[in-house]
Amino acid sequence: MSEPHFQNPDREIIHGLLATARTIAVVGLSPLPHRPSHQVARALRDYGYRIVPVRPGSKMILGETAYPDLASVPESIDLVDVFRNPSQIDPLIDACIELKIPAVWLQDGVVNVPAALRARDAGITVVMDRCTYRDYNAFRAEGRPPLGE
């Protein structure tokens, strides 16, 4: 039996996702400035997105209130950007399905095909093993920044 296959949405759907998202919950956002999650979240904030840190044990990151989990976030989330170990994705996908989150982005190296397929089957747009920052900048270099800078 072959392993299930996952394919990312095409570039236009990814562009549309970045163009329509306004509030991004960053799961696994590190308070340490040298960590990739911190650098990506800071850049996304600077591009105009509202960043909501999701990290148990942290009170504030990037000047924003941090929440222990997605269910604790008191506002609507357009996109969940994930910096977690692939083995920790299943409960996160469960939460996204329960909360009816419209889109999940699993960052570079975060690959969990069964979880991604389960989320997609539940109607969630899923991008996996790609970087929001890198994709945003690629569109920007083409003269089509998603937020219309």
Domain spans of the chain?
Answer: 11-141
Residues 6+ apart with CB under 8 A from 32: 38
So what's the pLDDT on residue 146? 92
CB 26 within 8 A of CB 51: yes
* The two three-digit tokens of residue 68, written as one number: 């222990």
State pLDDT tens for residues 128-142: 999 999 999 999 999
Instruction: Report pLDDT for 147.
Output: 82
> What pLDDT score does 77 carry?
98
The sign one gets for the Cα dihedral 72, 53, 78, 86 is negative
Q: What is the strand order of the sheet 50-54 is part of? A: 50-54, 23-27, 79-82, 103-106, 125-128
* SS3 assignment, position 125: strand
- pLDDT of amino acid 149: 60
The two tokens of residue 82 are 């994930």
Mean per-residue pLDDT over the chain, rounded: 95
| Nearest CA among 4, 8, 24 for reference residue 127 | 8
- In this prediction, residue 3 has a pLDDT band, given cuts at 50, 70 and 90, of low
Specify the CATH superfamily of domain 11-141.
Answer: NAD(P)-binding Rossmann-like Domain (3.40.50.720)
| pLDDT level of residue 148 (50, 70, 90 thresholds) | low
Tell me which residue of 85, 49, 56 sits closest to 70, measured CA to CA: 56
**In this predicted model, what pLDDT tens digit does every residue of 50-68 receive, in sequence order?**
999 999 999 999 999 999 9
Q: Smallest Cα–Cα separation from 127: which of 106, 146, 108?
A: 106
Q: What is the pLDDT of residue 4?
A: 76
Q: How much is the average pLDDT of 13-26?
A: 97
Could you tell me which residues are beta bridge partners of residue 54? 27, 67
Percent of the chain with pLDDT over 90: 94
Q: Which residue has the tokens 């095909």?
A: 113
Residue of 13, 83, 86 whose CA lies nearest to 55: 83
